[in-house]
């Protein structure tokens, strides 16, 4: 169980279009006039954490002419990113997953908007209330040393000193990861979007609902929206809980179930 203090930050933005070329990189503002773009090399559907990350990393890899669209407002789109509680942890039995998570922590740690950081390094505690769980935490502690991640095994007394609100009933100890964080997902998403925009390779467009795809000979040639068609060479679905609905439009099963 992870116990990470949650810091809540809400700042509603009424954004429809990011137009990067019109403004200096340090003075990016929100533009409220819908400017329909009718073509792109790549259309990314969804401007949540996944869509913004895809745009950010692809632009870093040299991709050009990317358009990110979303049915909601940028960047409080109303999807999972807008409602994410923000717990970020790093330790995993998989070395690759731990490396991914450490990279994410460090990346988000470099982001802030209007003085509000994307993450706070509050640390985490995994609790043990029985011998089997305590044994598992010891194993994870050993793994963390191999993965070069700092952790510490704490006794019940040490754990209670760190978090006095815990019940001491049956508590054996805990595993502390001091560098774990709580994140503000919308800040992280918007920060990656801004970085992508600054490259000149990416544009974002909100209030653009997808209604279908232009498929020819089994290949996507365009994305059909309520604002018009966007011709493209490739389309990347990052729609989160709306992914299955987007997949149905082309007869593809996207195995994701919103809960």
Domain residue spans in the chain? 87-181, 209-237
pLDDT of residue 6: 24
Q: Which DSSP string do the residues of 110-170 spell out, in sequence order?
A: T-EETTEESEE---EEEEE-SHHHHHHHHHHHHHHHHTT---EEEEHHHHHHH-TTS--TT
**Contact (CB, 8 A) for 170 and 130:** yes
The answer, yes or no, to whether residue 130 has pLDDT greater than 80, is: yes
The answer, yes or no, to whether residue 7 has pLDDT greater than 70, is: no
**What pairs with residue 239 in β-bridges?**
none
Give the C-alpha separation, 7 to 24, whole Å: 31
pLDDT of residue 129: 96
First to last CA, the chain: 20
- The single-letter DSSP state of residue 15 is B
User: Each residue of 61-86: pLDDT tens digit?
Assistant: 999 999 999 998 888 888 888 887 78
User: Each residue of 143-162: pLDDT tens digit?
Assistant: 999 999 999 999 999 999 99
Give the C-alpha separation, 154 to 165, whole Å: 16
pTM: 0.80
Locate 46 and state its tokens: 């969804």
Give the C-alpha separation, 208 to 75, whole Å: 13
- The single-letter DSSP state of residue 242 is G
175-180-185 Cα angle (round to 5):
140
Q: What is the mean pLDDT of residues 17-30?
A: 36
Question: Could you tell me where the DSSP H helices lie in the chain?
Answer: 49-60, 80-83, 95-109, 131-146, 156-162, 185-198, 243-248
**Contact (CB, 8 A) for 151 and 137:** no
Question: What CATH class does 87-181 carry?
Answer: alpha beta
């Amino acid at each position: 169980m992870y116990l990470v203090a949650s810091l809540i930050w809400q700042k509603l933005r009424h954004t429809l279009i990011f137009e990067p070329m019109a403004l200096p990189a340090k003075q990016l503002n929100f533009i409220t006039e819908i400017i329909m773009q009718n073509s792109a090399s790549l259309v990314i559907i969804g401007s949540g954490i996944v869509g913004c990350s895809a745009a950010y990393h692809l632009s870093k890899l040299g991709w050009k002419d990317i358009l990110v669209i979303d049915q909601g407002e940028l960047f409080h789109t109303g999807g999972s990113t807008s409602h994410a509680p923000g717990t970020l942890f790093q330790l995993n039995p998989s070395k690759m997953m731990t490396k991914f998570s450490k990279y994410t922590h460090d990346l988000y740690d470099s982001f802030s908007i209007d003085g509000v950081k994307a993450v706070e390094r509050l640390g985490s505690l995994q609790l043990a209330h029985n011998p089997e769980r305590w044994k598992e935490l010891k194993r994870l502690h050993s793994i963390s040393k191999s993965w070069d991640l700092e952790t510490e095994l704490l006794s019940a007394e040490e754990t209670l000193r760190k978090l006095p609100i815990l019940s001491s009933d049956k508590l054996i100890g805990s595993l502390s990861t001091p560098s774990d964080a709580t994140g503000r997902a919308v800040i992280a998403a918007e920060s990656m979007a801004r970085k992508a925009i600054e490259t000149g390779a990416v544009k974002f467009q909100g209030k653009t609902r997808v209604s279908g795809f232009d498929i020819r000979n089994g290949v996507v040639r365009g994305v059909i929206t309520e604002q018009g068609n966007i011709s493209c060479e490739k389309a990347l679905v990052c729609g989160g809980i709306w992914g299955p609905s987007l997949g149905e439009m082309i007869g593809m099963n996207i195995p994701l179930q919103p809960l």
